[in-house]
Chain A
């Protein structure tokens, strides 16, 4: 149905896709998997006309095509269902379903009776029963997702691309969604299904394509691939391949028996975290393992007060910390290096100096006036210690390279002298040299007695950097690796394990 061959796409600084071949066949649900930065989203954006490929052929229905805009792709019958539902929440279900192609009666006015009837029929055909007059937002996310699906189908989509459609759905909603997907498959629609949930993939998908570092590392029927092998492919690790000497800059593990400085117990966030508990001792690096969407970042954010929790408690150095307030967490000594450096980390328009001093400002001022001499001293210390490469302390942070931005952020937190440092993907998107420096720094900080929580999609980094690894899956802790069990193989087994009471294919 839709085929691409030899697809190449270079984004600034990265070769996002190289020589990618991909085929979506009619009546087939095709899983597209890969870790962060593997090139999934770039591939989807090329397929849907958001990006233009640098090289490669794309054929649709046997004819070569090239989409300049998303709407061209849509007209050609390629629809995308995004993670966030892209409908108008304040309008009724029927209006959403029919926007732009409402049935019109006399005088060109919309015939609502017919529209509601047809909307009901369309939805019933997919096994969905809702009151089509209700505003969309009154439905649950799952139902909204299905309305989006129905709209895509109703506009004669031949290829449906679903980008993590289940990430915010309840289990029952997922089942209904799968029912709809099966109906679509029977109708001969090609479905491309992007998800990180192993169980879902094996339940609904027929074929799989695994991307890693912009290349296709495997493609074929899913049933022939067992879970462990799939995880190994995604993470780029061979089972049984254990390196004696790591490539990362982490040194050996630390023996720690001290009482924990951070205890987070039974953290609950609706639909995202289910009773997650983590504890950190001073001088210890604890890794949070798991695939994308398993609740790693959410755990870190909840601990740092950036994500309101529905339940659970956080204790730092024996003192309970009020949840849902970053200021309270920071006062208690918890600092978070956020995953999304560009939007949640740096303040791009301010200088290196201001960015480093930002969080520590109250401590660096007297009577509300900043003590510039002290700021300069601190900025100078950290720029040297972290080897931040900038034209000077007054250069705008937005102009620095990713690695240096990350170091500025680290400096911002270190200037506060935290007890606990939460690092969410600290080395993502930064060059190799800076990566090694950051890794060495994490080690050094732990040696100085800081408790570090490390999140990384880079398994090697996670395993070698951590003394212990807590493995998350679907928002819950599934295993904790300690001592000799801190290996990539054990991590992959933990991730691939079939949940108790689950079913295997």
Chain B
């Protein structure tokens, strides 16, 4: 109510905060890159960039789906388990050839996403709770299908995981293509605009006759499918299926990438570019710590701090 009177006094701080939120992630990436160029030996090598890019690809793909779920004012906690389910399905059906197996794995993600979406859109369960139960069930199912780590020896998949085109790894190409596709969908399609409207103001969207439920279900289906694709790619890269540990804490990394990238948890906005930069930022942070001989434990603590900080900054803006 006091918006007007306050607006003038805080406008500068406000703008600074908004700039920080919108572009802080790019700044962070630049700072980390510069730091590493200067202080990290062997950082500025093609080989290193390649490794970094390959490592970030699965997280990035999952984060893209997460951005959709968060854009609807929801969240998808089941992504890590869906990755595990995907890797189990993949190695289980690999006998039918890599393409069929991949399709089945992605179909598993779609079904899981549809289940979350139906719980959210039709039953009216809170997104956290709905995706939490899918998180438990999908991981369990993955372990039932494939109780322990299994090596995956398939020439096609191996090529997918470690091959490249024009010197750029397939994994990176796929992630980039998906990011571009999502950016295109958000910018140009009816679905993208309806999703943003629903996330921003659900009552207004409903009164405008938008297909609220359908859009919600599709958002979660996309999230599930993207997580499954990430699961396939991660399997291809590791040449092994490990349903026990694949994708654990992935939901947290993905949420961090999305939030750090400037997409508010309150919905109504999806920043694809920011999400990409967010995923890269976390990857760089991890690398920096590791390359400077700080143990993985520090990385985890650092990531915890970064996410709380990002959410805290976003909160300031939400309250404005």
A residues near B (Cβ < 8 Å) are 11-13, 304, 306, 326-327, 329-331, 336, 338, 343-350, 354, 357-359, 361-362, 365, 368-370, 372, 412
The one of B191, B196, B210, B211 that contacts A368, using a Cβ cutoff of 8 Å: B191
Q: Mark B241-280, 1 if CB is under 8 A from A, else 0.
A: 0000000000000000000000000001100000000000
6 residue pairs bridging A and B, Cβ less than 8 Å apart: A345-B207, A346-B201, A347-B205, A358-B193, A361-B194, A372-B188
On whether the beta carbons of A326 and B189 are closer than 8 Å, the reply is no
A11-B1 in contact given A336-B207, A344-B204, A346-B204 (Cβ < 8 Å): yes
- On chain A, the residues within 8 Å of B200 by CB distance are 347-350
B152 close to chain A: CB less than 8 A: no
The one of A326, A348, A350, A369 that contacts B206, using a Cβ cutoff of 8 Å: A326
What number of A-B contacts does a CB cutoff of 8 Å give? 83
- On chain B, the residues within 8 Å of A354 by CB distance are 193, 196-197
B293 close to chain A: CB less than 8 A: no
B301 close to chain A: CB less than 8 A: no
The one of A13, A346, A350 that contacts B4, using a Cβ cutoff of 8 Å: A13
User: A347 vs B206: C-alpha distance in the bound complex, in angstroms?
Assistant: 11
Q: How far is the CB of A266 from chain B (nearest CB, A)?
A: 24
- On chain A, the residues within 8 Å of B206 by CB distance are 306, 326
User: A349 vs B18: C-alpha distance in the bound complex, in angstroms?
Assistant: 14
- On chain A, the residues within 8 Å of B4 by CB distance are 12-13
User: A336 vs B268: C-alpha distance in the bound complex, in angstroms?
Assistant: 23
Q: Which residue of B lies closest to A50 (CB)?
A: B1
Q: How far is the CB of B309 from chain A (nearest CB, A)?
A: 23
The one of A11, A13, A336, A343 that contacts B201, using a Cβ cutoff of 8 Å: A343
- On chain A, the residues within 8 Å of B205 by CB distance are 347, 358
Q: How far is the CB of A308 from chain B (nearest CB, A)?
A: 12
User: A349 vs B4: C-alpha distance in the bound complex, in angstroms?
Assistant: 18
Q: How far is the CB of B28 from chain A (nearest CB, A)?
A: 24
Q: Which of A331, A336, A344, A354 has the most CB of B within 10 A?
A: A344
On whether the beta carbons of A362 and B207 are closer than 8 Å, the reply is no
On whether the beta carbons of A344 and B207 are closer than 8 Å, the reply is yes
Q: How far is the CB of A355 from chain B (nearest CB, A)?
A: 8
Within 8 A of A (CB), among B169-223: 188-191, 193-194, 196-197, 200-201, 203-211
Q: How far is the CB of A383 from chain B (nearest CB, A)?
A: 18
Q: Which residue of A lies closest to B192 (CB)?
A: A370
On whether the beta carbons of A304 and B1 are closer than 8 Å, the reply is no
Instruction: Give the 8 A-B CB pairs with smallest separation, nearest first.
Output: A12-B4, A330-B209, A327-B209, A359-B208, A349-B200, A349-B268, A344-B203, A365-B190
User: A358 vs B200: C-alpha distance in the bound complex, in angstroms?
Assistant: 13
Q: How far is the CB of A166 from chain B (nearest CB, A)?
A: 26
A326-B3 in contact given A361-B190, A369-B188, A372-B188 (Cβ < 8 Å): no
B45 close to chain A: CB less than 8 A: no
- On chain B, the residues within 8 Å of A347 by CB distance are 196-197, 200-201, 204-205, 268
User: A345 vs B197: C-alpha distance in the bound complex, in angstroms?
Assistant: 11
User: A412 vs B193: C-alpha distance in the bound complex, in angstroms?
Assistant: 14
- On chain B, the residues within 8 Å of A358 by CB distance are 193-194, 197, 205, 208, 210
Q: Which residue of B lies closest to A412 (CB)?
A: B208
- On chain B, the residues within 8 Å of A372 by CB distance are 188
- On chain A, the residues within 8 Å of B297 by CB distance are none
Q: Which of A345, A349, A365, A368 has the most CB of B within 10 A?
A: A349
B51 close to chain A: CB less than 8 A: no
On whether the beta carbons of A12 and B269 are closer than 8 Å, the reply is no
Q: Which of B1, B5, B196, B208 has the most CB of A within 10 A?
A: B208
User: A202 vs B11: C-alpha distance in the bound complex, in angstroms?
Assistant: 50
- On chain B, the residues within 8 Å of A370 by CB distance are 188-190, 193
Q: How far is the CB of B284 from chain A (nearest CB, A)?
A: 30
The one of A13, A326, A338, A343 that contacts B209, using a Cβ cutoff of 8 Å: A326
User: A326 vs B210: C-alpha distance in the bound complex, in angstroms?
Assistant: 8
On whether the beta carbons of A12 and B207 are closer than 8 Å, the reply is no
Q: Which residue of A lies closest to B6 (CB)?
A: A12
- On chain B, the residues within 8 Å of A326 by CB distance are 206-209
The one of A12, A343, A369 that contacts B1, using a Cβ cutoff of 8 Å: A12
Q: How far is the CB of B30 from chain A (nearest CB, A)?
A: 27
Q: Mark B1-20, 1 if CB is under 8 A from A, else 0.
A: 11111000000000000000
On whether the beta carbons of A368 and B189 are closer than 8 Å, the reply is yes
A350-B5 in contact given A344-B204, A368-B189 (Cβ < 8 Å): no
A358-B210, A362-B190, A370-B188 given; name 6 further pairs at CB < 8 Å. A326-B208, A344-B203, A348-B200, A359-B208, A359-B209, A361-B190
